[in-house]
Chain A
Amino acid sequence: MTLLPWTRKPAVREIRPGASVFEDLALPLLPALYNVASWLSKNPTDAEDLVQETFLKALRGFESFEQGSNFKAWIFRILRNTYLTSRSGLAALRTVSLDEELAEQADSGPTLYPEGAIDRQTPEINLIRLTDRAALQRAMEQLPPLLLEVVLLCDVEEMKYKEIAAVLDIPIGTVMSRIARARASLRTLLDTDTGLKRGSLA
């Protein structure tokens, strides 16, 4: 047999010397990623697609991940950006009301949010509602995506404002005003969540 000459290049590059293994970082976050993905996409199929796509992107981009920096914020940012460009994400963003956008534009600092109206509701009703997990979940479902995600990252994922700002790529002041708006909306939604609706689910 004849041997044909082949030009072979030397090693192009070594693969991430000293890098942490992707699986050690990513797999522990899978429950959190899937939970948030499910909340955002509102159906199991889209949530699975979203998480898988996030994993694929994270794997491909893992070389660009700065070792030692915040992996959780990094991968949640991928999840969030993937969601925004997904079918369910685009649909959700299209239905964000004009009020939301206007309120967003007014977010230039933490002190601009009007006081009183939202913070001084009668706590008694809400305290009872707060024990009603299903009612709270219904309220969360009704939050606009931009407010829901901030609640999920802050309360469920227990991220610091700084991390949330990194995930959402917004200033910390905007994080704070979104959290204020999200919690105010949750209270309002809880107050308007009627017993009739709850009864129909029972």
Chain B
Amino acid sequence: MTEHLSSTEHLSSTVLNALVDGELAAEQAAAAKEHLDHCSACTSTALHQALLKTATAKAGQRYQVPSQLEQRLRRLASSQAVDAPDLHRNADTTPWSMRRFISPALAVAATLLIVAMSWFPIQRRMHTSELASAQQAALIGEISDLHIATLAANQPPEVISSDRHTVKPWFQGKIPFSFNLPDNLPSDTKLDGANLTYLHNRPVAQLLYSIGRHHVSVFVQENSGAREQHPLLAEHSGFHVSGFQTSDLEVIAVSDVDPVRLTGLVRIIEQAQTAH
């Protein structure tokens, strides 16, 4: 507000607006008040402006957030909180049971996409690494979008157990392959449960782990052997993907935990496959 104010001139609409909006500097406000003290026309207009502003403020408060939208966005926003586990824990109002399955839900989407892309025949037609890496970068970008969008799909695991002797047998008869679950996990890592999912009509075991407050999905599938092996380590928007292959299995893990710890868990699972 640089406009010159004189006590004898009527206040301009800009000054009147700035007055009711509380945007006049102290000096300008004082000059305006001095004018208003002896100008009933401007006082009336200023009062009117103030009333209009107040009425507009009230009339403008019109729409209530639908509870369904609020819940959806609450879940969505809390997924981000998982990224910063050391902060604002007390302010975290989302029930733990709700947030528990967010990361796995994201991970499902991420992994399905990654796996689908890399297992698809189209992948084999990519001869140049440039094409492959561009494709992967684009894919990971897509995955990141899908991650968040898939948050609404929020379901508990089919088998809820931290006991590997409960989780592993649960898959018997459900999948045409077998795998080992590691005995000793690091102290902050635990098994939450597992799901049976399908990928291209083939069953896939989805193991749900927690590392601290971060959630990890580990997908285990029979190694089709039809695919070239290439390293799978990706990172985008805080999500990391890591994996390994044996002659029988293909394993891919997804999480927002830091990649060192994710890779640590993957390595433990990898070692469990050779231990028996």
Contact = CB atoms under 8 A, between A and B. Distances in A.
Interface in B11-27: 12-14, 16-18, 21, 23
Q: Describe A's contact surface by its main secondary structure.
A: helix
Interface of B: 1, 3, 10, 12-14, 16-18, 21, 23, 41, 44-45, 47-49, 51-53, 55-66, 69-70, 72-74, 76-81, 83-84, 87-88, 91-92, 94, 144-145, 148-149, 229, 231-233, 235, 237-238, 240, 242-249, 256, 258-260, 263, 270, 273-274
Nearest 4 A-B pairs (CB), nearest first?
A: A156-B60, A23-B77, A38-B63, A22-B80
Given A6-B244, A39-B60, A51-B73, A154 B80 contact: no
A11 B84 contact: no
B84 to A, nearest CB: 5
Given A22-B81, A59-B80, A187-B52, A1 B248 contact: yes
B245 A56 contact: no
A87 to B, nearest CB: 18
Given A16-B84, A21-B87, A119-B13, A56 B48 contact: no
Contacts, number: 201
Interface string A1-30: 111101111111111101111111011001
Nearest to B11: A119
B48 A127 contact: yes
A198 interface: no
Contacts of A118: 13
14 contacts: A6-B243, A12-B259, A21-B88, A26-B77, A35-B63, A38-B62, A51-B65, A113-B12, A115-B10, A119-B13, A155-B57, A156-B57, A156-B61, A160-B23
